[in-house]
């Protein structure tokens, strides 16, 4: 659902929902307008939001039976997924607004031949990316040097050297390597090597046939795609077919050594510190000391996060024929760069990964694809301009007040827990006390000094940024953590919690309806962004976040009996979501989605508490009606509005296997069905579908 912002050990950044960005940025003060950020003469007309409207309610349905159907049924029926998307709902509509604003910024920058600073970076990327004629005329030529290096490989040592060089260039295959805080000392940055290298969504797609053979069908389609893409690159038909089979066999061997998405959620499987000397002994065919040297690093050790995977990788260097390595590296080089190459390559990549795998019927228009490139390469440079033009200061001030109110409500709940000992409670409150909220945009912008871009080559710009961003990330290793940095750009419609820094982060673009509206009544804001704030805070106490202490270190701060009590409660939530049945009889994976479900339940509960205090402070009654609904009812109605979302069937199936977030309709009903406050708000009765009996009702935080 979201890409890691630069590099993050998988599942550490526990994002709320969609569309995260890749690399970020930094310069003087975010509040001060930058001299190089040209303001457009005419502001664009932004697309609408999915803000709650009374007419959306389907009053033929009973909220006590299905809150999602009551709030969203009519809207979902009237808003099918657009042809260039795989999902459509509240998040996507805000994403469209963010894209429209970003497009105007990029077009303004591209039209200015004298643009400087961050505007020049954005303008260079956008201008060269939008020059379709030049991109198509270049064909495969921009990456020909990479392909020639692959063709020249003769020995396993050659393959190892190629991999080192590719990582140093900011690309890299088979595994990922990046910078993150040390699990055991979160004040310091270390390197993390992490399993990767699969083209299909996860290991099961290689090792199982799937329901009705759909994984097998996808594998066959992938092999056909690889063969076609290789033929596009000039490989003879028979050789392309052989190489495609080799690629599947290669990735299948990687898949067998890879952990599943559920296993990867365990922090124990995300961190395995080794000394450089021990890493070299364990990998005779891939000396990690040479890898570090190639990447400009002098380290004593790093996290070799999945030892089993890397042991298999080392064996494959010795055992897999070089020709098979070449096939794998060749298709990954082509497919990895396909979005920036001629239409022949971009379209073929889309036909499999977009249409076949995820059900997207049409490729995004070129301007959106180029904006994706800007976002991934120089996203915070664009964000520096975005916040000046589209984020009002009053929104940040109002958000700060909401965060404060949610913090107060959360502390009170922690102090009043009846199932936790005083010792563990005190540590939970200490963690609460060290929360660091970040709202809107960074206080300090990243410097882009040294990144050279031009108006003459799209792929050249992409490769230059990849190298620049990689070097920037490598430059963090061995140094103290910079807590001013953000893992998302301001124009990203999302939010996240980072347990290593105990921080909650809310980019500017999510602070719009249905999440946040400074003109809305309290109920809508607390049911929207208030619940999001609570959700991110509660990630600090979910099954993963609760394993990190107030300083962000991976350390046990629980009494044993308290931990057992917590696990007994979360087990009931796993079962609740295991019981939900989605498309074609496929069940939600309660263990995969547990962290998000804990955060939803706790976040909505805390937000409800905060609403009651806000209403009391304002002299309002929870029974006060607006448009015929009480404040309590409108609170839960807007919670469901946030989760209105249609899916393409193929996309939904992929997400059920890989996404730590449950499908939106189950998120709309899951948390409220455990809350007596919901039943009271709508006068629901025992036996109603949205009222869980006491033995099945989940109460955690």
H or E, element range at 427:
helix 422-433
> Which pair of structure tokens corresponds to residue 98?
């963010």
d(CA 637, CA 50): 13
Distance, C-alpha 632 to centroid of its chain: 31
Residues 119-136: tens digit of each pLDDT = 999 999 999 999 999 999
Residues 243-299: tens digit of each pLDDT = 999 999 999 999 999 999 999 999 999 999 999 999 999 999 999 999 999 999 999
d(CA 693, CA 423): 31
What pLDDT score does 43 carry?
66
Helix axes 117-130, 458-474, angle to 10 degrees: 140
d(CA 319, CA 580): 44
Residues 519-556: tens digit of each pLDDT = 899 999 999 999 999 999 999 999 999 999 999 999 99
> Which pair of structure tokens corresponds to residue 22?
């890749």
What are the DSSP E strand ranges found in 485-617? 496-498, 503-507
d(CA 676, CA 382): 45
**What are the C-alpha distances in Å from 169 to residues 172, 173, 192, 471?**
8, 11, 17, 8
When pLDDT is averaged across residues 31-53 and rounded to a whole number, the result is 63
**Across the chain, which distance is largest between two alpha carbons, in Å?**
78
What are the DSSP E strand ranges found in 149-287? 175-182, 185-195, 273-275
What pLDDT score does 151 carry?
98
When pLDDT is averaged across residues 457-486 and rounded to a whole number, the result is 98
Backbone angles phi, psi at 362, to 5 degrees: -130, 145
What pLDDT score does 6 carry?
37
d(CA 660, CA 262): 8
Residues 397-450: tens digit of each pLDDT = 999 999 999 999 999 999 999 999 999 999 999 999 999 999 999 999 999 999
Peptide bond into 514 cis (omega under 30): yes
Pick the closest to residue 147 from 427, 335, 386 (CA basis): 335
What pLDDT score does 25 carry?
28
Structure-derived torsion over alpha carbons of residues 535, 539, 542, 547, reported in degrees to the nearest 10: -170
**What are the C-alpha distances in Å from 700 to residues 262, 403, 502?**
21, 21, 20
> Which pair of structure tokens corresponds to residue 517?
């509206």
**SS3 call for 594:** helix
> Which pair of structure tokens corresponds to residue 362?
């049409």
CB 398 within 8 A of CB 41: no
**What are the C-alpha distances in Å from 105 to residues 383, 387, 404?**
10, 11, 33
Pick the closest to residue 530 from 612, 427, 455 (CA basis): 612
Instruction: Identify which has the larger pLDDT, 4 or 204.
Output: 204
Q: Among the listed ranges 15-24, 27-36, 388-397, which one has the minimum average pLDDT value?
A: 15-24
Pick the closest to residue 606 from 540, 698, 527 (CA basis): 527
At 211, the pLDDT band (50, 70, 90 cuts) reads confident
When pLDDT is averaged across residues 76-95 and rounded to a whole number, the result is 97
**What are the C-alpha distances in Å from 323 to residues 97, 426, 472, 514?**
47, 59, 34, 53
What pLDDT score does 1 carry?
29
Mean residue pLDDT across the chain = 93
d(CA 529, CA 537): 12
Residues 351-376: tens digit of each pLDDT = 999 999 999 999 999 999 999 999 99
Residues 100-111: tens digit of each pLDDT = 999 999 999 999
Helix axes 117-130, 366-390, angle to 10 degrees: 160
When pLDDT is averaged across residues 131-144 and rounded to a whole number, the result is 98
Residues 648-697: tens digit of each pLDDT = 999 999 999 999 999 999 999 999 999 999 999 999 999 999 999 999 99
- Which residue shows structure tokens 């890299």? 172
Instruction: Identify which has the larger pLDDT, 259 or 24.
Output: 259
Query: Taking phi first (over 0 means left), then psi (-120 to 50 degrees means alpha), and beta for anything else, what does residue 438 get?
Result: beta
What pLDDT score does 22 carry?
24
Q: What is the pTM of this model?
A: 0.93
Q: Is the pLDDT of residue 13 over 50?
A: no
CB 550 within 8 A of CB 430: yes
When pLDDT is averaged across residues 615-633 and rounded to a whole number, the result is 95
H or E, element range at 375:
helix 366-390
Residue 574's Cβ-count burial label (10 Å; 0-12, 13-18, 19+) is buried
CB 201 within 8 A of CB 251: no
Length of the chain: 701
């Amino acid at each position: 659902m979201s890409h890691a912002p630069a590099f993050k050990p998988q599942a550490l950044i526990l994002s709320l929902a969609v569309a995260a960005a890749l690399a970020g940025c930094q310069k003087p003060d975010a509040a001060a307008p930058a001299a190089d950020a040209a303001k457009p003469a005419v502001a664009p007309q932004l697309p609408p939001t999915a803000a709650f409207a009374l007419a959306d309610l389907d009053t033929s349905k009973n909220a006590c039976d299905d809150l999602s159907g009551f709030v969203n049924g009519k809207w979902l029926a009237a808003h099918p997924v657009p042809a260039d998307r795989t999902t459509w709902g509240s998040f996507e509509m805000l994403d469209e607004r963010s894209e429209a604003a970003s497009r105007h910024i990029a077009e303004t920058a591209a039209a200015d031949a004298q643009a400087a600073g961050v505007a020049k970076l954005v303008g260079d990327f956008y201008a060269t990316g939008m020059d379709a004629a030049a991109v198509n005329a270049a064909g495969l030529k921009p990456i020909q040097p990479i392909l020639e290096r692959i063709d020249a490989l003769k020995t396993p040592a050659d393959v190892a050297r190629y991999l080192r060089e590719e990582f140093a260039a900011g690309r890299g295959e088979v595994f990922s390597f990046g910078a993150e805080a040390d699990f055991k000392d979160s004040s310091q940055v270390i390197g993390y090597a992490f399993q990767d290298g699969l083209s299909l969504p996860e290991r099961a797609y290689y090792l199982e046939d799937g329901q009705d053979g759909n994984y097998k069908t996808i594998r066959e389609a992938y092999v056909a795609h690889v063969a076609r893409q290789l033929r596009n690159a000039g490989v003879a038909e028979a050789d392309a077919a052989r190489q495609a089979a080799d690629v599947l066999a290669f990735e299948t061997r990687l898949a067998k050594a890879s952990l599943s998405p559920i296993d990867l959620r365990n922090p124990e499987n995300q961190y395995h510190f080794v000394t450089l000397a021990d890493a070299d002994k364990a990998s005779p065919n891939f000396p990690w000391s040479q890898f570090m040297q190639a990447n400009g690093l002098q380290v004593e050790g790093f996290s070799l996060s999945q030892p089993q995977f890397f042991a298999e990788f080392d064996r494959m260097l010795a055992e897999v024929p070089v020709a098979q390595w070449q096939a794998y590296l060749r298709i990954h080089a082509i497919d990895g760069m396909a979005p920036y190459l001629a239409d022949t390559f971009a379209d073929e990549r889309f036909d499999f990964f977009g249409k076949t795998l995820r059900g997207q019927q049409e490729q995004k228009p070129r301007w959106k694809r180029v904006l994706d490139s800007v976002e991934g390469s120089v996203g915070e440079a664009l964000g520096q301009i975005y916040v000046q033009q589209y984020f009002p200061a009053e929104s940040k001030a109002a958000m700060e007040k909401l965060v404060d109110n949610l913090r107060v409500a959360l502390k009170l709940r922690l102090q009043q827990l009846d199932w936790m000992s005083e010792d563990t409670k005190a540590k939970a409150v200490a963690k609460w006390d060290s929360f660091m909220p970040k709202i809107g945009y960074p206080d300090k912008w990243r410097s882009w000094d040294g990144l050279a871009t031009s108006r003459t080559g799209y792929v050249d710009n992409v490769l230059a940024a990849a190298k620049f961003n990689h070097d920037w990330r490598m430059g963090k290793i061995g140094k103290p953590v910079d807590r001013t940095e953000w893992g998302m750009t301001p124009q990203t419609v999302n939010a996240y919690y980072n347990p290593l820094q105990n921080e909650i982060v809310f980019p500017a673009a999510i602070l719009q309806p249905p999440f946040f509206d400074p003109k809305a009544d309290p109920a809508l804001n607390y049911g929207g962004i208030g619940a999001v704030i609570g959700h991110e805070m509660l990630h600090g106490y979910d099954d993963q976040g609760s394993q990190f202490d107030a300083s962000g270190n991976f350390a046990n701060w629980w009494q044993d009996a308290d931990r057992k009590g917590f696990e007994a409660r979360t087990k009931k939530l796993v079962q609740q979501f295991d019981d939900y049945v989605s498309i074609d009889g496929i069940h939600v994976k309660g263990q995969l989605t547990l962290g998000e479900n804990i955060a939803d339940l706790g976040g909505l509960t805390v937000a409800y508490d905060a609403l009651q205090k806000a209403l009391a402070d304002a002299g309002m009654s929870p029974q006060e009606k607006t448009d015929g609904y009480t404040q309590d009812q409108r609170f839960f109605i807007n919670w469901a509005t946030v989760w209105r979302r249609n899916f393409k069937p193929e996309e939904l199936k992929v997400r059920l296997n890989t996404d730590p977030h449950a499908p939106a309709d189950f998120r709309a009903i899951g948390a409220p069905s455990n809350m007596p406050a919901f039943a009271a708000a709508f006068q629901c009765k025992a036996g109603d579908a949205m009222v869980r009996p006491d033995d099945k009702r989940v109460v955690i935080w």
